[in-house]
């Protein structure tokens, strides 16, 4: 049969693209300092917390000595506890060009410059980092500035204190392991030569600032089954899913035949990816505020994470309930009249089943016992034989133990299975039972013992 456009009409909620916040500057004033900013190592860091969802753009420091050339390497760390931090990002090290303010862009070399959770700070290492391989283990080697003797943090200790990843005991040192994973303590701004007076003319006096800005990573606000099929906050493998939020993309695109590969829908559309329970979904539509996709096979039962990724980054995982089956029939909001949600059911002549004049300008006719109606559904779950999610249907398959009741009277189900040539859409061919009473009748559907949560109606004459 020919599928009319009405069968696929789903309300689309397009949220506006969120405005990008102006850059913000953190840290002390960039002036020469003859004393440390704080006497306790981590105090200044608490003034330099990176707000969640922001990334570092640039960093700057004040150098007092016009002749000395020292390296500063910016770092992004996450607070573990106390003054212990986990190193999560390393920027390109920069060498001062003389005295005064030194300002450089934050060019990420390793890890991430994006703060995706609480308790992130921006810090620095007085030196460089280099990739090395020792004993077959690749890692990053920290190279301190020459003639600098780092000292354990203590308010009474004069001399040069660095801000650097510092093992829990002892001074700053070379670290060899994959990407410096582990916990470190962090010291503070210090001044003076290696062991001299803070006021020494040879001192290197640092005041570090950084600039950050909001990053337009995707934000997910809700995940439901298709709005036209009930819009429940539950999903099933092979079922259609709507994801709402913001900053998904700057364009709008619907999948086309060229996006398919081996009859499978795309897992990347316009640079946007969706993972559900860690598995790639098949994306049919992307816009700034909405994504439509087909859930992959193999979802766990219970709460699973939905993650949208674009060229900028990924949202914080959004939880949604998943089940093997979530039977949902096509019943868009426009079919809800007088407080009753009527199902989309078609007579063989393409006239909708329901009370006449239910919707202005649309042909409706009540069904009579013996009439055969066609309905459409999604999220019916696995078929017999099994068909993979996201693939264009080309073989015959059925849903197990399909039951339909109209007015609490069992109806004959002549066919219940996927629609050939489409992805993720199912079809029910139902015969109106002879015992159905005239008038509006409640319609219920269950698949292998799992009933639809929708309250649906049709009309019997």
The mean pLDDT of 141-148, rounded to a whole number, is 61
Mean pLDDT, the chain, integer:
74
Instruction: Enter the tokens of residue 71.
Output: 């390296």
Same domain, 96 and 207: yes
Q: Say if residues 46 and 202 touch (Cβ distance below 8 Å).
A: no
pLDDT value of position 119: 60
Name every residue whose Cβ is closer than 8 Å to that of residue 378 and which is 6 or more positions away in sequence.
225, 226, 229, 239, 240, 328, 330, 424, 425, 426
Instruction: Enter the tokens of residue 447.
Output: 């698949």
The mean pLDDT of 150-156, rounded to a whole number, is 40
Same domain, 44 and 143: yes
The mean pLDDT of 318-331, rounded to a whole number, is 93
Name every residue whose Cβ is closer than 8 Å to that of residue 438 and which is 6 or more positions away in sequence.
460, 461
pLDDT value of position 26: 59
- Ranges 30-34, 60-64, 72-76: which has the least confidence: 30-34
How many domains does one find in the chain?
Answer: 3
For residue 317, give its domain range: 8-17+216-322
Same domain, 263 and 394: no
Candidate ranges 192-201, 394-403, 442-451; pick with highest mean pLDDT = 442-451
Instruction: Enter the tokens of residue 423.
Output: 């992805």
Instruction: Enter the tokens of residue 214.
Output: 């909001």
Same domain, 34 and 144: yes
- Ranges 24-38, 262-276, 277-291: which has the least confidence: 24-38
pLDDT value of position 64: 64
pLDDT digits (tens, 9 = 90+) for 231-248: 999 999 999 999 998 888
The domain that holds 447 is classified in CATH as 2.60.40
Q: Does 139 fall in a domain?
A: yes
pLDDT value of position 215: 61
Same domain, 407 and 333: yes
Question: Is residue 44 scored above 60 in pLDDT?
Answer: no
Name every residue whose Cβ is closer than 8 Å to that of residue 391 and which is 6 or more positions away in sequence.
263, 264, 265, 423
Same domain, 253 and 365: no
pLDDT digits (tens, 9 = 90+) for 65-109: 676 677 777 777 766 665 556 667 778 888 888 777 888 888 877
**More confident of the two residues 42 and 308:** 308
Question: Is residue 59 scored above 60 in pLDDT?
Answer: yes
Same domain, 271 and 208: no
Instruction: Enter the tokens of residue 160.
Output: 């040069």
Q: Does 1 fall in a domain?
A: no
The domain that holds 286 is classified in CATH as 2.60.40.10
pLDDT value of position 135: 65
Same domain, 67 and 103: yes
Same domain, 45 and 101: yes
Among 274, 307, 322, identify where a domain stops: 322
pLDDT-based confidence at residue 136 (cuts at 50, 70, 90): low
Same domain, 316 and 388: no
Question: Is residue 5 scored above 60 in pLDDT?
Answer: no
Among 194, 214, 234, identify where a domain stops: 214
Distance CA 329, CA 445 (A): 9
Query: Which has the closest alpha carbon to 24: 61, 60, 54?
Result: 54
DSSP annotation string for 400-456: TTEEEEETTEEEEEEEEEEPTTSSS-EEEEEEPPTTPPSEEEEEEEEETTEEP---E
**CB count in 10 Å sphere of residue 161:** 21
Query: Which has the closest alpha carbon to 50: 102, 123, 122, 110?
Result: 122
The CA-based angle 175-178-183, given to 5 degrees, is 60
Same domain, 154 and 265: no
3-state secondary structure of 44: helix
Helix (H) or strand (E) holding 127: strand 127-134
Q: Say if residues 38 and 44 touch (Cβ distance below 8 Å).
A: yes
Query: Which has the closest alpha carbon to 355: 367, 370, 346?
Result: 367
Q: Does 2 fall in a domain?
A: no
Question: Is residue 182 scored above 90 in pLDDT?
Answer: no
Same domain, 288 and 180: no
């Amino acid at each position: 049969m020919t599928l009319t456009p009405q069968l696929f009409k789903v309300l689309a909620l397009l949220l506006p693209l969120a405005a990008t916040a102006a850059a913000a500057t953190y840290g002390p004033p960039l002036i020469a300092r003859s004393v440390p900013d704080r006497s306790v190592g981590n105090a200044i860091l608490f003034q330099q917390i990176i707000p969640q969802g922001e990334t570092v753009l640039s960093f700057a420091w004040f150098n007092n000595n016009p002749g000395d050339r020292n390296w500063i390497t910016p770092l992004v760390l996450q607070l573990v506890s106390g003054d212990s931090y986990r190193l999560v990002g390393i920027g390109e090290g920069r060498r001062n060009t003389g005295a005064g303010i030194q300002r450089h862009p934050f060019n990420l070399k390793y890890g991430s410059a994006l703060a995706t959770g609480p308790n992130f700070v921006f810090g620095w290492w007085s030196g460089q980092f280099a990739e090395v391989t020792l004993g077959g283990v690749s890692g990053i080697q920290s190279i301190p500035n020459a003639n600098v003797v780092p000292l354990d943090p203590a308010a009474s200790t004069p001399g040069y204190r660095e801000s650097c990843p510092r093992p829990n005991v002892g001074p700053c040192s070379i670290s060899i392991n994959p990407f410096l994973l582990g916990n470190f303590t962090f010291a503070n701004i210090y001044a003076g030569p290696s062991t001299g007076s803070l006021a020494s003319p040879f001192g290197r006096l640092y005041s570090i600032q950084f600039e950050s800005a909001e990053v337009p990573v995707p934000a997910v606000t809700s995940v439901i089954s298709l709005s036209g099929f009930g819009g429940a906050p539950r999903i099933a493998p092979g079922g259609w899913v709507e994801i709402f939020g913001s900053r998904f993309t700057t364009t709008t695109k619907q999948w086309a035949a060229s996006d398919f590969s081996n009859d499978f829908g795309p897992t990347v559309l316009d640079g946007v990816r969706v993972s559900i329970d860690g598995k790639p979904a098949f994306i049919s539509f992307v816009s700034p505020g909405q994504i439509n996709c087909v859930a992959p096979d193999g979802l766990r039962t219970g709460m699973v994470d939905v993650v949208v990724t674009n060229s900028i980054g990924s949202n914080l995982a959004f939880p949604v309930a998943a089940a093997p089956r979530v039977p949902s029939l096509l019943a868009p909001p426009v079919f809800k009249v007088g407080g009753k949600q009527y199902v989309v059911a078609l007579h063989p002549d393409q006239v909708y089943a329901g009370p006449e004049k239910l919707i202005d300008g649309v042909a409706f006719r009540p069904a009579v016992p013996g009439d055969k109606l066609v309905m459409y559904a999604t999220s019916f779950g696995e078929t017999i034989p099994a068909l993979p999610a996201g693939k264009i249907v080309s073989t015959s398959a059925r849903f197990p133990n399909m039951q339909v009741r109209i007015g609490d009277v069992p109806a004959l189900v002549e066919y219940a299975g996927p629609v050939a040539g489409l992805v993720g859409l199912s079809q029910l061919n139902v015969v109106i039972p002879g015992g159905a009473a005239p008038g509006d009748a409640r319609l219920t559907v269950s698949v292998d013992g799992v009933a639809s949560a929708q309250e649906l109606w049709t009309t019997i004459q």
